């Protein structure tokens, strides 16, 4: 989906079929990107997103990938990027597992799955795609979480692995400069878990200075800004939380 004069830029978004990932894919496609995105169990959502965004002239392709198996999945994803498009300007590491486990209930298997999807897969994707990102003066955006900085004991493996991704963001920013910028976004609540009681939601919002939850679209607009209008921004973790991190 390109002309000879102005080829469309290419973005790869992991976990792009639903929720925040879907908003990011939609935002980038509307901003003029062709987008490859990964999904695991959301086949129908992925196909619907492809069909929706083809209507605006974007090439949008879903790739099924299990990022808890980093070596296999990352190789297959990058093979697809290289063979189908041969270029990439943006990598958004959004795929995530959000599972509760405190110290008493955490298992080694769960911890390794969290580490695989939150740290190892982003690292391998950055490693393999670094030449294309450098050539395109590209951008990496890692989706973090306020729990990486202020962990909840009830989500111990999740919080620890997101903290690993936080550190990886800073390391990649140094490693890939000056050709590639690397930043992180740490949202607060931008989409409520459907099972969360209304009373718990209101209790959370009382600690948010802006007194509301965010939206996936607000995160997606920030991703677009980082990738299209912030060439001097790198190594930063941007908190999108309505001020929750300062209370």
Helix 19-30 to helix 216-228 angle (10° resolution) is 40
Sign for the pseudo-dihedral over CA of 201, 204, 206, 210: negative
Determine the Cα–Cα distance for residues 216 and 23; give it in Å rounded to an integer: 6
Q: Which residues of 49-87 are buried (b: 16+ CB within 10 A; e: fewer)?
A: bbeebeeeebbbbbbebbbbebeebbebbbebbeeebeb
The Cα 215–Cα 208 span in angstroms is: 14
Q: Taking the CB of residue 154, how many other CB atoms lie within 10 A of it?
A: 13
Q: How many CB atoms lie within 10 A of CB 230?
A: 16
Q: Which of 39, 158, 204, 232 is catalytic?
A: 158
Active site residue 158: yes
Q: Which residues pair with 34 in a beta bridge?
A: 10
Catalytic residues: 158
């Amino acid at each position: 989906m390109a002309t000879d004069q102005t080829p469309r830029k290419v973005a790869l978004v992991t976990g792009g079929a639903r929720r925040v990932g879907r908003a990011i894919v939609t935002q980038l496609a509307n901003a003029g990107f062709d987008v490859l995105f990964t999904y695991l169990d959301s086949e129908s959502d992925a196909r619907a997103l492809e069909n929706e965004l083809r209507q605006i002239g974007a090439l949008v392709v879903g790739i099924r990938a299990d990022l808890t198996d980093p070596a296999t999945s990352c190789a297959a994803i990058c093979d697809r990027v290289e063979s189908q498009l041969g270029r990439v300007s943006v990598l958004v590491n959004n795929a995530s597992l959000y599972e509760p486990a405190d110290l008493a209930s955490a298992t080694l298997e769960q911890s390794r799955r969290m580490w695989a999807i939150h740290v190892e897969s982003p690292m391998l994707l950055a490693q393999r795609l670094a030449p294309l990102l450098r050539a395109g003066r590209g951008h990496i955006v890692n989706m973090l979480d306020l729990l990486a900085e202020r962990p909840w004991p009830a989500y111990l493996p999740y919080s620890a692995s997101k903290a690993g991704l936080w550190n990886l963001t800073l390391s990649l920013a140094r490693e890939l400069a000056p050709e590639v910028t690397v930043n992180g976004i740490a949202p607060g609540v931008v989409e409520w878990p459907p099972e969360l009681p209304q009373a718990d939601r209101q209790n959370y919002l009382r600690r948010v200075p802006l007194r509301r939850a965010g939206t996936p679209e607000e995160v997606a607009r920030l991703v677009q800004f980082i990738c299209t209008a912030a060439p001097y921004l790198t190594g930063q973790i941007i908190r999108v939380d309505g001020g929750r991190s300062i209370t």
